[in-house]
Chains A and B, each alone.
Chain A
Amino acid sequence: MADKTNDLLQGALDLLVLRSLYTEKRHGWGILKRIQQSSNDELIIHQGSLYPALYRLERQGFIKSDFGLSENNRKAKYYSLTRKGKRKLEREIEKWNRFSTAIVSVLQNA
């Protein structure tokens, strides 16, 4: 059972990370802030979960990294979506929509 929930949470985290990289490339901190902002501070991701997820996604080939200058002129590691990652994102969004619709309809009608 524990695995299941983990899967769900991990899937959600992956989705959020990939989505935040959809528009532009960001460094880890940027991803964190972006998710926080766009969720109106409802979703706070801990760095202890973010970085392992980033490393895993990179190994799986969904995102890639390079080095760039940050807004405060410091060298930072930037992540961006790969083509494979884009496809995964589209798939995941669709899946998530179906899932949430289903949940919502259960909550409303059951």
Chain B
Amino acid sequence: MGWFKDMWFRLTTIVGRNRFESVMDDEMEFHLEMAVQEKVDRGMDPVAAKKQALKEFGSPESFKEDCRDSWGARVVMDLIRDLKFAIRKLKKSPGFAAVAIVSLGIAIGANTAIFSLLNTILFKPLPVPNPADLREITFVSPVLSNSQIRGASTTLPDGRREINALNYSVFLQLQENAESYADVVGFSEVPGIQTRLRGDLFTTSGMLVSGNFCEGLRVGAILGRTIQPEDDQAGVEPVVMVSYDYWVRRFNGDADALGELITLNNVGFRLIGVLPRDFKGPQHGEEQQFYIPLSTQPIVQPELELTNDNHWWIWVMARLKPGSSDEQLKASLDLALERAIGSDRFATGSSSRNGVSVTSGRQGNPREGRVILKDETDRYNDYMRSILLDGRAGSRNQGGRMATPFYFMLGAAGIVFLAACANLAGLLVARSISQQHETATRKALGAGSLRLVRQGLTESLLLAVLGAVFGWFVSIGAKAGIIQSLSSVAIGEGIDGGNDHRVFLFVTSITFVAAILFGLLPSLRSMKINLMDALRDRSDSRGGWLTGRVFVALQVGLALLLIVGAGLMIRSFSNLQKIDPGFNMEKLLVFQLNAQNGGYEGPQKLELYQKSMDVIRTIPGVQSVACSEVLFLANSARRVGVITAPDNPDFEGENVMAMTVSEDFFHTLEIPLLSGRVFEATDAREAERVVIVNEQFSRRFFGERNPVGKLVKQGNDNLYRVVGVCADTKYNRIKADVQPMLFFPIKQSSTGRFGLRRAWIQVKTEMDPLALVPTVRKAMAEVDPNLPLNSVKTQAIQMSDSIFREKLQASLLMIFAVLGVFLSCIGTYGLMAYTVSRRTSEIGIRKALGARSDEAIRPILKSSLVVAGVGLVLGAVFVLPLGNLIRGQLYRVDPLDPMVLSLGVLLLFAASVAAAWFPARKAAKVSPMEALRVE
């Protein structure tokens, strides 16, 4: 407060400066008058009195200055003077200012853009009323014996563990006990649920939620109703509510969809409601497709028992009731935990007794509430305790998977930022050396050292602020670019990258950090200038020269890290692209037909697909046409139930991937046939059921034997004769390993309610596939003018969309690496230009003594290479730890890939030589006489 008042006082002083001055003048004048008056009263002659008084008064200006100081105006006046000086200085070297502002701006902009995206992912509150009342609850407990815990689980230093899941019975008891203080809701993610819906078969993950989930979080349905506690009981009809996106995608936003059955792992769930568009689920950055009651868990996850107390799988959030406090909630939760879990549940021999710390929630700011209270008694350590965390942005249990690539990008942007700061620091040091004479002059004239430092810092702050302003615009563009490229492949739709106080705080602090990082050292240097040496211009001040080189080396090192990072990502990306999917995706046009939506029923559906293929086949430029139920590399797959080979009783059978295809499929996609035959027109409904298996399947189910002619069985009754073996192909994802696979002929596929609802037509062309699209559309209009062609694209585009994240990372890093190299070139250039100007006379002497031009500049080039070399070694040291950090993002690339590393080193070396070359050339051209005259 005192400080603020003082500052305010000073500011108003500046603003009211004129008034202040005039009042002061009046006061002095009055004083003089009184003094004269006094003398006159004493009998002095008025003229003499005035003279005398003025003499006594002394210089009014000097003591007016003292008054101003006392008034406190000085600090602010100095600041303004420093700013004016800094602006003047920047104006004098516009090139330097431009380089500084642009490079800082890009660095700050990149960081800001990525941070604000990350910010929305991590901190955006759930779109529910009063999100501040929400708490996420985790637990600290001695080690649970014999337990399976889902979600994150951290071991604390005292041997206890922090877990975030409960078993079903404990959850119910907690919910009941805390009822008067909060609505405690539970949920859990279930991956890989096989869904059948309006005949579509696909696999998605869904979420099990407690009956009070929607009520507790206060999420309403925009259509139908939400899951209620009555739905969360054994023996009632299973119900499901879906996300808005799911409703639009799977039901075309059809309001009549309510009441339809969605088959989840072979059990029908009644659709009762659709959730609001902005509600993506209770977890950070995770989007949920559908929600079913906790009590249906045994149906969708039969391998796990709902009531198994060793199975800790329910994540917990709560909404505080009005008037309740965190303490009350925590107390009631802890009491319930103590009652619910006997101490026999905890593994013996845990070191919990040795630890004396208990984490406890604190009212007010729960996220900061992990206060270790040392004074709680030992008794508490034998039980499980709850921890209340801020839940306004949802649960963090599993969340943040979305955030991973952004953390990664923020890390890379951070390196660019450091490089930009090092670059500026280097330039400033070089400049401060060249301005040594001026600085020394000012010092000799009485400028205080501190004042000089302050002036230096004011200048860097000005640069940083200008950079931040520029960076703000950069960030707007960058953000829009990233969001647009993300949405083009339909990921990250929840991200709007809006700005809030956190983003502004980030920008402000990053700006100040930058100013200090690059400004402090050069400013401090000015303090140490040796006056006499500097004034005599004997300026071989080794210190500054060394500092400058350190900064350039630092930049080269950071640039190496960026290049290596980019190189690894690019290699990884190109490895992904080089993966042989097992089929030829060149010149392949694909689109989807939805026969069911087009009103086709039963065998009509198959007829539609046949007719479409026939029509397209006649188009000039079309080589062949095929049709399949699922598209390759589109993240979806069909799995069929347990398959056995009756001929091979040793094999127990398992689920396999499957796909229904037309006869031309293998020919069109150029999947080699290894033995047997492909499907033929005769493999029709009334003929024997046949399948083609892939190599993987053959090896797994038949070993070394040839499966052609053998039988495979699905479930208990369906027998299929294997007619051919084809080469392995990738199926749903390019990164995934090849799975055992079955192909069924389309003509034998069921055309019942769920069969062949939609299909992908795949067209092999002779020319650019997309050029054929208008002709294909025209042809299809003849088949059915009312039937839309969905998702028209080439298989190659489908493929590149599927590895979009890798592409984005590689290209961003690539941009960052270019920036890094650019910065290190500027740094090297600046340093070398400076060196050359310093050593002009030395070069002149050498030349006068008969050295050739190239001999004369050799030492300069050499020294620049030494600096680059040091930087490269420095960078190389950090390649391993950083490489390990991104190992998870790499596909079949070693973080220490020798090619990437050596290429990076070579590139930077070349860049350094190039950057040093121009100043050196200039030096080589100086005539000896001119050079000697410089002295």
Contacts and interface: CB of A to CB of B under 8 A. Distances in A.
Nearest to A72: B37
B30 A29 contact: yes
B30 A56 contact: no
B70 A55 contact: yes
A77 B26 CA distance: 9
Interface string A36-56: 000000000011100111011
A44 to B, nearest CB: 10
A72 B62 CA distance: 28
Nearest to A61: B5
Nearest to B20: A55
Interface in A9-55: 27-29, 46-48, 51-53, 55
A27 B30 contact: yes
Interface in B27-42: 27-28, 30-31, 33-35, 37
A27 B31 CA distance: 9
A10 B480 CA distance: 63
B63 A77 contact: no
B276 interface: no
B30 A59 contact: no
A4 interface: no
A70 interface: yes
A51 B61 CA distance: 12
Nearest to A57: B70
Which of the listed residues A28, A55, A59, A74 has the most CB atoms from chain B within 10 Å of its own CB? Answer: A55
B66 interface: yes
Interface string B347-360: 00000000000000
A10 to B, nearest CB: 11
A86 B440 CA distance: 49
Contacts of B31: 28-29, 47
Contacts of B34: 29, 70
A76 interface: yes
B57 A52 contact: no
B67 A77 contact: no
B23 interface: yes
B63 A48 contact: yes
A52 B58 contact: no
B58 A74 contact: no
A70 B58 contact: no
A77 B30 CA distance: 9
A48 B66 contact: yes
A52 B72 CA distance: 11
Interface in B3-31: 9, 23, 26-28, 30-31
Given A70-B30, A77-B30, A29 B67 contact: no
B930 interface: no
User: Interface on chain B toward A: helix, strand, loop, or mixed SS?
Assistant: helix
B855 interface: no
A18 to B, nearest CB: 16
A74 B69 contact: no
Contacts of B35: 29
Interface residues of A, number: 18
A55 B63 CA distance: 12
Interface residues of B, number: 21
B918 interface: no
A74 B33 contact: yes
A53 B67 CA distance: 8
A28 B26 CA distance: 12
Interface in B43-92: 57-58, 62-63, 66-67, 69-72
Contacts of B67: 51-52, 55
A88 to B, nearest CB: 15
Given A48-B63, A59-B9, A77 B72 contact: no
A66 B880 CA distance: 72
Interface string A59-93: 10000000000101011110000000000000000
A94 B26 CA distance: 36
A57 to B, nearest CB: 9
Contact of A47 (B23, B26, B57, B72): B57
B30 A76 contact: yes
A52 B70 contact: yes
Interface string B92-131: 0000000000000000000000000000000000000000
Contact of B70 (A56, A72, A75): A56
Contacts of B23: 77
Contacts of B62: 48
Contacts of A51: 27-28, 63, 66-67
A55 B57 contact: no
Contacts of B30: 27-29, 70, 74-77
Contacts of B66: 48, 51-52
A86 B28 CA distance: 26
A52 to B, nearest CB: 4
Interface string B397-409: 0000000000000
B142 to A, nearest CB: 60
A28 B32 CA distance: 11
Contacts of B33: 74
A48 B28 CA distance: 10
Interface string B905-925: 000000000000000000000
B55 to A, nearest CB: 12
Contact of A28 (B27, B37, B58, B70): B27
A70 B26 CA distance: 13
A77 B71 CA distance: 16
A48 B72 contact: no
A72 B33 CA distance: 10
A62 to B, nearest CB: 13
Contacts of B27: 27-28, 51, 76-77
Contacts of A29: 30-31, 34-35
A51 B70 CA distance: 9
A77 B57 CA distance: 18
A47 B72 CA distance: 19
12 contacts: A28-B30, A28-B31, A29-B35, A47-B63, A48-B63, A51-B66, A53-B70, A56-B70, A59-B71, A59-B72, A70-B34, A74-B30
Given A47-B57, A51-B27, A74-B30, 18 more contacts: A27-B30, A29-B34, A46-B58, A47-B31, A48-B58, A48-B63, A48-B66, A51-B28, A52-B70, A53-B70, A55-B70, A56-B71, A59-B9, A70-B30, A72-B37, A75-B30, A77-B26, A77-B27
Interface of B: 9, 23, 26-28, 30-31, 33-35, 37, 57-58, 62-63, 66-67, 69-72
Interface of A: 27-29, 46-48, 51-53, 55-56, 59, 70, 72, 74-77
List the 6 closest pairs (A to B, CB-CB), nearest first. A56-B70, A55-B70, A29-B34, A52-B66, A52-B70, A48-B63
